[in-house]
């Protein structure tokens, strides 16, 4: 197998420092409340763990796995639930934890589904955002980094299921 060349875009120290900052914001914003984190699998898993370790308010977590209809790298407006949440979210302060927001379609569709389950509040926290690629408007409360329109891997993000375990954000050089 050919080894891909990966260029570091955001190194581990920088990612960890920024997650610290965002966690502190969340601790402040939700002070006195209980937070329910929803990890969007698989990409959100690494970020959610790091974020959750730094949150000091009462916390619960659940996991969801959605996939877009249609093929390849383009996601359609509808998502298919491959693994649903284990618990109801009615009355909870829900924070969706995402790896990256690209077109915004996956997230918009997911938000619609979750809003229909009557949470007390519903917000989004993403590790990465590619604002140049946005097609549908989504309201993102916490974003760690805006990045240029490049395909990135690491910290949960994959290229063909590879590189999720890299402790930094990198660009696969093609």
Interacting residue ranges for ligand IMP, rule: CB under 6 A: 43, 75, 99-107, 151-152, 157
**Structure tokens that stand for 57 in this block:** 């308010």
What are the tokens at 137?
Answer: 């408007």
Residues 22-51 that bind Mg ion (CB under 5 A): 43
Residue 149 is classified by DSSP as S
The Cα–Cα gap between 82 and 141 comes to: 26
Catalytically annotated residue among 99, 102, 132, 160: 102
Spatial CA neighbour of 111 closest among 122, 121, 127: 122
CB 170 within 8 A of CB 5: no
Is 30 or 96 the residue whose CB approaches ligand IMP more closely? 96
Which of Mg ion, ligand IMP, none lies near 93, with the C-beta cut-off 5 to 8 A by kind? Answer: none
CB of 59 to ligand IMP, least distance (A): 22
- The reply to whether 102 belongs to the active site is yes
Q: Which is nearer to ligand IMP, 94 or 157 (CB)?
A: 157
**Nearest-CB residue for Mg ion:** 43
Joined tokens for residue 156: 């949960």
> Which of residues 75 and 93 has its CB atom nearest to ligand IMP in the complex?
75
- Write down the least CB distance from residue 31 to Mg ion, Å: 33
Under a CB-based contact definition with an 8 Å cutoff, are residues 18 and 144 in contact? yes
Q: Which tokens sit at 78?
A: 């509808």
Residue numbers annotated as active site: 102
Provide the binding-site residues for Mg ion, judged by CB under 5 A. 43
């Amino acid at each position: 197998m050919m080894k891909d060349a990966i260029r570091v875009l955001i190194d581990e120290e920088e990612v960890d420092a920024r997650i610290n900052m965002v966690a502190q914001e969340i601790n402040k914003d939700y002070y006195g409340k209980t937070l329910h984190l929803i990890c969007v699998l698989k990409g959100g898993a690494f970020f959610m763990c790091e974020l959750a370790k730094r949150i000091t308010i009462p916390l619960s977590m659940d996991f969801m796995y959605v996939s877009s209809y249609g093929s390849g790298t383009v996601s359609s407006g509808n998502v298919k639930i491959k693994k649903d949440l284990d618990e109801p979210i009615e009355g909870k302060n829900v924070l969706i934890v995402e790896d990256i927001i690209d077109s915004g379609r996956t997230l918009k569709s997911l938000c619609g589904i979750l809003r229909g389950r009557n949470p007390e509040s519903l917000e989004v926290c993403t590790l990465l955002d590619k604002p140049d690629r946005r097609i549908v408007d989504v309201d993102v409360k916490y974003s760690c980094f805006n990045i240029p329109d490049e395909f990135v891997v690491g910290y949960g993000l994959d290229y063909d299921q590879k590189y999720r375990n890299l402790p930094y954000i990198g660009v696969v050089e093609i």
